Chains A and B, each alone.
Chain A
């Protein structure tokens, strides 16, 4: 997918969740374990890779995982949390 996390996002994982601080508009977001996994891998893997990681970690079906990944990545794009790499 060639995505990069936006440089104005500070973030860290806490357990299997993650917290994102959007420094430009001063919002704070919490990510559930699926979101946290996708966020942590979003620069390294394409959609298939992210789906595979979700399937492996959460023992879910491929179709459901793909739907989750697509929806979440679309949300990241929409909110400007990732930029095209």
Chain B
């Protein structure tokens, strides 16, 4: 959720203690009209995708679980034949709605429908400051123009659009240009230097990681903008909402304790009602325990790791151990510490 929607620390803590999954990510489909070279979704398309009616049933389960915010993602969520019915279903059930889309499928008619849903934000990926770089990253000619046609249709209707950029070696030389584009369109812009392996473990996307020098430039820029690169972490705390305040559901109905954690599903919504699954899952309990222990492990590491945001799910994917950060994480933590020490 954007900062404007930030819950109080007290309510966040209450949700954490109650293991109430406030934020749900629904991967409506892995189908996508783009072919991003560093995409983390598995290569297979949906073999037995949930129907619109099944997704509505999932939304009922999430309401019972205490979810507040639903993000529709993919793949490309607009490629699901029942996208609009699911999005409307989310709002009918009083969820806050976020959409993560590449924007290319946002027609004038769909823009009207999306605007009527009053999403908290529509988040779109920007991969370069101009068509050649962006279209190379998406492996889709014309995708840069399609992104901005979709974004502009939503902006004209007052929808809040946020551009998000995964920093890669392809676009690391175009940071100023991308920031200028965001400013010209009057939209927020977020930059993330972390690329992840595919959900099926294929490390291919990591070949596109940005250079250390580019990461340092980005961190310096973010720090100058007042963005926090480090977090306060004290012994006895919890690293993140894994297994407690986040939940993710894939196109075939498998449920995970966050979007990144793919060790094993908690279950499948076709077989077990969500509230029952969430309450009884040993995998969820394990993930929640990992989140608790990861905090103390990072505190114990000391130095740059002690204060740098850590993802146990990513560590598990990269090293096989949710408490053992990979080299990329260690490098970014050191860079952030160095950048902050120079300020």
Interface presence of A76 (CB below 8 A)? no
| Min C-beta distance of A71 to chain B, whole Å | 22
Interface presence of A46 (CB below 8 A)? no
A10: which of B8, B14, B66, B94 is its contact (CB, 8 Å)? B94
Interface presence of A52 (CB below 8 A)? no
Interface presence of A2 (CB below 8 A)? no
Give the segment of B15-23, B125-133, B208-216 that binds chain A.
B15-23
Q: Chain B binding site: helix, strand, loop or mixed by DSSP?
A: loop
Report B-chain residues with C-beta under 8 Å of the C-beta of A15.
14, 18
Q: How large is the interface on B (under 10, 10 to 19, 20 to 34, 35 or more residues)?
A: 20 to 34
Interface presence of B95 (CB below 8 A)? yes
Do the beta carbons of A23 and B11 come within 8 Å of each other? no
Q: How far is the CA of A21 from the CA of B5 in the complex (A)?
A: 7
| Min C-beta distance of B312 to chain A, whole Å | 24
Interface presence of B109 (CB below 8 A)? no
Do the beta carbons of B7 and A9 come within 8 Å of each other? no
If A5-B94, A10-B94 touch, whether A19 touches B11 (CB-CB below 8 Å) is: yes
B66: which of A12, A24, A28 is its contact (CB, 8 Å)? A12
Interface presence of A26 (CB below 8 A)? yes
Q: How far is the CA of A24 from the CA of B8 in the complex (A)?
A: 20
Do the beta carbons of B91 and A7 come within 8 Å of each other? yes
Do the beta carbons of B8 and A23 come within 8 Å of each other? no
Report A-chain residues with C-beta under 8 Å of the C-beta of B67.
12
Report B-chain residues with C-beta under 8 Å of the C-beta of A23.
96, 118, 120
Q: Mark A1-43, 1 if CB is under 8 A from B, else 0.
A: 0000101111111110101010110101010000000000000
Do the beta carbons of B14 and A30 come within 8 Å of each other? no
A14: which of B6, B15, B91, B120 is its contact (CB, 8 Å)? B15
Do the beta carbons of A10 and B95 come within 8 Å of each other? yes
| Min C-beta distance of B156 to chain A, whole Å | 18
B69: which of A5, A7, A10, A14 is its contact (CB, 8 Å)? A10
| Min C-beta distance of B64 to chain A, whole Å | 11
Q: Identify the B interface with A (CB < 8 A).
A: 4-8, 11, 14-15, 18, 20, 22, 66-69, 91, 94-97, 118, 120
Q: How far is the CA of A7 from the CA of B88 in the complex (A)?
A: 11
Do the beta carbons of B68 and A21 come within 8 Å of each other? yes
Q: Identify the A interface with B (CB < 8 A).
A: 5, 7-15, 17, 19, 21, 23-24, 26, 28, 30
Q: Chain A binding site: helix, strand, loop or mixed by DSSP?
A: strand
Report A-chain residues with C-beta under 8 Å of the C-beta of B68.
10-12, 19, 21
B18: which of A5, A7, A14, A28 is its contact (CB, 8 Å)? A14
Additional pairs, 11, CB under 8 Å, beyond known A12-B68, A14-B18, A30-B8: A7-B91, A9-B94, A10-B68, A12-B22, A12-B66, A12-B94, A13-B66, A14-B11, A14-B22, A19-B7, A21-B5
Report A-chain residues with C-beta under 8 Å of the C-beta of B95.
10
Do the beta carbons of B11 and A10 come within 8 Å of each other? no
Nearest residue, chain A, Cβ from B4: A26
Report B-chain residues with C-beta under 8 Å of the C-beta of A9.
94
Q: How far is the CA of A69 from the CA of B112 in the complex (A)?
A: 38
Q: How far is the CA of A19 from the CA of B95 in the complex (A)?
A: 11
14 A–B contacts from the bound complex (CB under 8 Å): A5-B94, A7-B91, A8-B118, A10-B69, A10-B95, A11-B68, A12-B67, A12-B94, A14-B15, A14-B20, A14-B22, A15-B14, A19-B7, A21-B5
Report B-chain residues with C-beta under 8 Å of the C-beta of A24.
118
| Min C-beta distance of A40 to chain B, whole Å | 11
B14: which of A5, A7, A17, A28 is its contact (CB, 8 Å)? A17
Report B-chain residues with C-beta under 8 Å of the C-beta of A30.
8, 11
| Min C-beta distance of A15 to chain B, whole Å | 5
Nearest residue, chain A, Cβ from B96: A10
| Min C-beta distance of A25 to chain B, whole Å | 10
A28: which of B7, B15, B20, B97 is its contact (CB, 8 Å)? B7
